[in-house]
């Protein structure tokens, strides 16, 4: 059971990027200060064989050649805000757009693009690292200075917990998540995630338009490829014909829950070959399931591997996309000085 730090590289302006390694409870997690990103996560299979199950890079340059959000903490607002604008208290707030006409994952300079500072680190029975990020008022046009915290802890056998917090000096939307790409057979495994079995215990999802903005009200998953309530092989669901699958060439949709505040099991992922199972818990109102269809084989992966289409998937607990523009969606406005909190647990078996 340990926590240690080592250099990972330098940013183009010379700022150092460090890597913190946590070891305990049968897991080894590596977190880099660039984006407070989970760079590697080694998990045993049914025979005790360890394998890295998240996508990432071996050096800083791998994270700078293109913005893929590998393992990063996302903020100030995860997912999309339509048209790069929203209205709060009668004032229109305009944000930079970086995903067609929309603002995605906090804009072009979101939390994932910054070097965070290690505020605390400790070994022992529950080793952890806590990283902080402070941004001035108007960063990416969001109102108010913001201070964010991300704490990774190995809390129990096979469990990695990510605690997220943020406070802003002005009222505004905050929506944070972890953006790890998982392949339980191993990062870069040639078979991708088609054979993984996924269960999502949600009865509704948000259909999207051609720019991936939610359109209309939540829709029932019943009778559609989006129904994972009883567990389904992802490849089989991708093969089904559905207009919503055709929008993005796969899954990139929010699953809806009725409330938030109490931790719930949101998703279970199982890979038959290795026997690894991942359970994702969260206390927020939604889960974004992304099937990795935009991975194009050009990413500089770890160990010289490349990450291709459907090579990994993301299960991102968060509040609903475009909520600042949708009064019928769960409220995401955090009052000035109040603390936003979000806990995600990744439990492996």
Q: What is the pLDDT of residues 93-109, one digit of tens each?
A: 999 999 999 999 999 99
Contact present, 17 and 63 (Cβ < 8 Å): no
Contact present, 282 and 266 (Cβ < 8 Å): yes
132-142 pLDDT, tens digit per residue, is 999 999 988 99
Spell out the residues 6+ positions from residue 192 whose beta carbon is closer than 8 angstroms to its own.
183, 292, 308, 309, 310, 311, 312
Looking at residue 259, its pLDDT comes to 76
Whole-angstrom distance, CA of residue 60 vs CA of residue 66: 11
Segment 314-325 shows an average pLDDT of: 98
Contact present, 251 and 289 (Cβ < 8 Å): yes
**What percent of the chain has pLDDT above 90?**
95
Looking at residue 6, its pLDDT comes to 98
Confidence check: pLDDT of 64 > 90 = yes
CATH 2.70.98.10 fits 2-348, yes or no: yes
Confidence check: pLDDT of 300 > 90 = no
Q: Is 41 exposed, middle or buried (0-12, 13-18, 19+ CB in 10 A)?
A: buried
**What percent of the chain has pLDDT above 70?**
100
179 is a catalytic site residue = yes
Name the active-site residue from 179, 189, 253, 342.
179
316 is a catalytic site residue = yes
Name the active-site residue from 105, 268, 316, 342.
316
Provide the pLDDT confidence category of residue 17 given band limits of 50, 70 and 90. very high
Confidence check: pLDDT of 179 > 80 = yes
Spell out the residues 6+ positions from residue 249 whose beta carbon is closer than 8 angstroms to its own.
293
Confidence check: pLDDT of 299 > 90 = no
Q: What's the mean per-residue pLDDT of the chain?
A: 96
235-272 pLDDT, tens digit per residue, is 999 999 999 999 999 999 999 997 787 899 999 999 99
- Kindly list the domain boundaries of the chain, sorted by start residue: 2-348
201-243 pLDDT, tens digit per residue, is 999 999 999 999 999 999 999 999 999 999 999 999 999 999 9
Segment 104-123 shows an average pLDDT of: 97
User: Token digits for 205?
Assistant: 């999802």
Nearest one of 233, 229, 226, 278 to 251, comparing CA atoms: 226
Strand 2-10: give its sheet, edge to edge.
2-10, 16-24, 27-32, 37-44, 50-52
Segment 8-28 shows an average pLDDT of: 97
């Amino acid at each position: 059971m340990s926590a240690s730090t080592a250099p990972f590289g330098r940013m183009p302006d010379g700022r150092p990027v460090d890597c913190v390694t946590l070891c305990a409870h049968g897991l080894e997690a590596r977190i880099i200060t660039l984006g407070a990103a989970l760079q590697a996560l080694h998990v045993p299979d049914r025979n005790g064989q360890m394998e890295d199950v998240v996508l990432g890079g071996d050096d800083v340059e791998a994270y700078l050649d293109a913005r893929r959000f590998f393992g990063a903490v996302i903020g100030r607002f995860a997912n999309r805000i339509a048209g790069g604008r929203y209205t709060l208290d009668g004032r229109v707030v305009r944000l930079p757009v970086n995903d067609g006409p929309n603002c995605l994952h906090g804009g072009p300079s979101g939390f994932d693009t910054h070097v965070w500072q290690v505020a605390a680190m400790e070994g022992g029975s529950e080793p952890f690292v806590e990283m902080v990020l402070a941004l001035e008022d108007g960063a990416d046009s969001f109102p108010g200075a913001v201070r964010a915290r991300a704490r990774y802890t190995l809390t129990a056998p096979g469990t990695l917990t990510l605690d997220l917090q943020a406070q802003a000096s002005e009222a505004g939307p905050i929506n944070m998540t972890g953006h790890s790409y998982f392949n339980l057979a191993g990062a870069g495994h040639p078979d991708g995630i088609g054979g993984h079995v996924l269960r999502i215990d949600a009865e509704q999802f948000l259909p999207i338009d051609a720019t991936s903005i939610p359109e209309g009200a939540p829709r029932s998953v019943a009778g559609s490829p989006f129904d994972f309530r009883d567990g389904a092989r992802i490849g089989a669901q991708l093969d089904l014909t559905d207009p919503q699958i055709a929008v993005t060439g796969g899954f990139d949709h929010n699953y809806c829950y009725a409330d938030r505040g109490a931790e719930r099991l949101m998703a279970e992922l199982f890979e038959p070959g290795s026997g690894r199972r991942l359970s994702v818990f969260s206390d927020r109102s939604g889960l974004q399931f992304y099937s990795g269809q935009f991975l194009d084989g050009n990413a500089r992966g770890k160990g010289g591997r490349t990450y291709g289409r459907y090579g990994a998937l993301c299960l991102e607990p968060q509040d609903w996309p475009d909520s600042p523009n949708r009064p019928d969606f769960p409220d995401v406005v955090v009052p000035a000085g109040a603390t936003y909190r979000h806990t995600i647990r990744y439990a492996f078996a």
